Structure 1
Amino acid sequence: MSKGFKRFYKHAEASGAEGGYNVLLDGKPMMTPDGAKLTLPTRAAAAQIADEWNAQGEQIKANDLPLTRLANLAQDRMGAAREATADWLTQYAQTDVLCHRAEHPQNLTQRQAEQWDAALEWANQELGVSLSTVCGIQTANHPPESLERVRGLALELDDLRLTGLAHAAGMMTSAVLAFALIRNRYSADEAYALATLEEKFQQEQWGVDEAAAKRDAEILSELKTLQEFMNSL
């Protein structure tokens, strides 16, 4: 595993700039991979990225800079990838984890119905997205207008929020939970608990795998950071 690269600055901070806010490393604006000044819409968002850099030790580790990666991607790439990203999010809605239910045992199917149905009802009421449920490995037959609605809602977002939405959907395999996260319907803890409901049920029966537990903790931490960042925009 890479150790990262040596820290080359003493202090990071947010600073007002033309068109928004920059992140300064020892007074010099941080640049995106494409060579532009990284610009955030609010001081709070820039400050969160500065906090990531201030938290680094002697070695800078890319895995500890999730907001920097997200902001760079949004600024350098999302402008040209909006349509493709909306299509990708529509695919996550098509195969949304909330829609694919277990056939047995009954205590698992009941838990899925109780907890996942509430999330789908929120999507119906608040997003105008009505998704169907299926058991096993069947393909869900969702109303085409609902899938198109997901795509439209994604394209209504600015580049930063669209990037965040897509990242959340990927981490939870759910477009519905991604929307619920960035709209604060659920906390990161609540959203990830729903996304991993079946896995947690299996862990109750058979125990917790150490590697899986570590991965869950990392994803949950990143979801919490992402939700805070989305709220700062």
Structure 2
Amino acid sequence: AGAPRRGLRRLSSGGGGGGGAKGSAPQTHQTIKGRTRFYVRTGVMPAKDEAAAAVPAAAASGGGWQVTLDGRPLPTPARAPLVLPSEPLAWAIAAEWDNQSTPVGIEPSFMPLMSLASTALDQIAVDAEPTINALLPFLKTDTACFLAPPEERILRARQEEVFAPLLAWVRERYGADLAVSEDIIAKPDHPADAVAALEAAMRGMDCFELAALQCATFNCKSMVMGLAVVEHELTPEEAQRACRLEEDFNVEQWGLVEGGHDVDMAASLASLSSATTFLRLRDLGREMQ
């Protein structure tokens, strides 16, 4: 029993980086990267009252759940209670820890759901402003708001086919009528009320939703696509195809760089899938109540 306690104390001593101009940095237990697994069993338990009270977004879902390592509640990298909004999400994160038996030791990058939860609780729940302020500028360079010039007929047609429905959805869902640019240099001049509407939508999200939105937006270089992912309007595969539309078109013309394009695609899809899974498991818990 002594070894797991020492491991958990070191586990909760920080790591993973902090917030900043680029928003909320993904939080993982980087202090244990490469360490030999120091626990035997993983599990889940209902959150203790004092722990649940510290996380309103989880408490609002019915009291919250905690992951355990050898029976002890797992903390976040910042030593906060890791209280999750649903039992299915807690079990999924417990499974990430249970699968940590790689030859090189514990690998935090293999725990994307844990990373999202820790980012939500350690950073966004404490102060959502850095995340919101980092996401809003994506509208100025949003992938969905740029079209190739008319003379590039094939690419332009593909973009219109994919981007127009997304912009129509944002307009209908949020009342945000975003502008479109045909010049890669000229940023789209979005109406102020459209930007305000999307900012208000973000402020209405809890810390878990914002963490998933940040993940999807950063990957797609598009808040429009990020919102579509967290609202389940796009699947991860659809979002990846949408955000890589021009790059995939260029690959058709010039070929795939093995070890480059393919690796980027796999990493991007894994990240988008984690954001979708994170929220699906959160919602599944609500449906089970």
Aligned to 1:78, which of 102, 124, 131? 124
Structure with the higher fraction of residues in strand conformation: 1
Please state how far the C-alpha of 1:37 moved relative to its aligned partner: 2.3
Normalised by the size of structure 2, how large is the TM-score?
A: 0.77
Secondary structure of 1:132 counterpart: coil
Please state how far the C-alpha of 1:80 moved relative to its aligned partner: 3.5
Please state how far the C-alpha of 1:87 moved relative to its aligned partner: 2.2
Matches within 5 A, 1:72-221: 72-103=118-149, 104-135=151-182, 136-210=184-258, 211-221=260-270
Aligned to 1:39, which of 79, 83, 95? 83
Secondary structure of 2:186 counterpart: coil
How far apart, in 1, do the equivalents of 2:34 and 2:152 lie?
Answer: 46
Q: 1:60 is matched with which residue?
A: 106
C-alpha RMSD of the superposition: 1.6
Rg (Cα) greater in structure: 2
Please state how far the C-alpha of 1:16 moved relative to its aligned partner: 1.1
Please state how far the C-alpha of 1:152 moved relative to its aligned partner: 0.6
Query: Residue 217 of structure 2 contacts residue 223 of structure 2 at CA under 8 Å; is this kept in 1?
Result: yes
Aligned to 1:28, which of 57, 72, 76? 72
Query: Residue 74 of structure 2 contacts residue 81 of structure 2 at CA under 8 Å; is this kept in 1?
Result: yes
How far apart, in 1, do the equivalents of 2:254 and 2:33 lie?
Answer: 35
1:113-145 Cα deviation digits (max 9, x unpaired): 111111111111112121111112211100111
Q: Can you give the 5+ residue segments of structure 2 that lack an aligned partner in the other structure? A: 1-31, 53-63, 283-289
What percentage of residue pairs aligned between the two structures are identical? Answer: 31
How far apart, in 1, do the equivalents of 2:246 and 2:34 lie?
Answer: 35
How far apart, in 1, do the equivalents of 2:265 and 2:147 lie?
Answer: 21
Secondary structure of 1:129 counterpart: coil
Normalised by the size of structure 1, how large is the TM-score?
A: 0.94
Please state how far the C-alpha of 1:23 moved relative to its aligned partner: 0.5
Q: Can you give the 5+ residue segments of structure 1 that lack an aligned partner in the other structure? A: none
Please state how far the C-alpha of 1:4 moved relative to its aligned partner: 2.2
Please state how far the C-alpha of 1:11 moved relative to its aligned partner: 2.7
Query: Residue 216 of structure 2 contacts residue 271 of structure 2 at CA under 8 Å; is this kept in 1?
Result: no
Matched residue count: 232
How far apart, in 1, do the equivalents of 2:33 and 2:125 lie?
Answer: 32
Secondary structure of 1:101 counterpart: coil
Query: Residue 178 of structure 2 contacts residue 190 of structure 2 at CA under 8 Å; is this kept in 1?
Result: yes
How far apart, in 2, do the equivalents of 1:159 and 1:227 lie?
Answer: 15
Secondary structure of 2:45 counterpart: strand
How far apart, in 2, do the equivalents of 1:80 and 1:140 lie?
Answer: 33
Query: Residue 209 of structure 2 contacts residue 279 of structure 2 at CA under 8 Å; is this kept in 1?
Result: yes
Aligned to 1:230, which of 270, 275, 279? 279
Secondary structure of 2:125 counterpart: helix
Secondary structure of 1:13 counterpart: strand
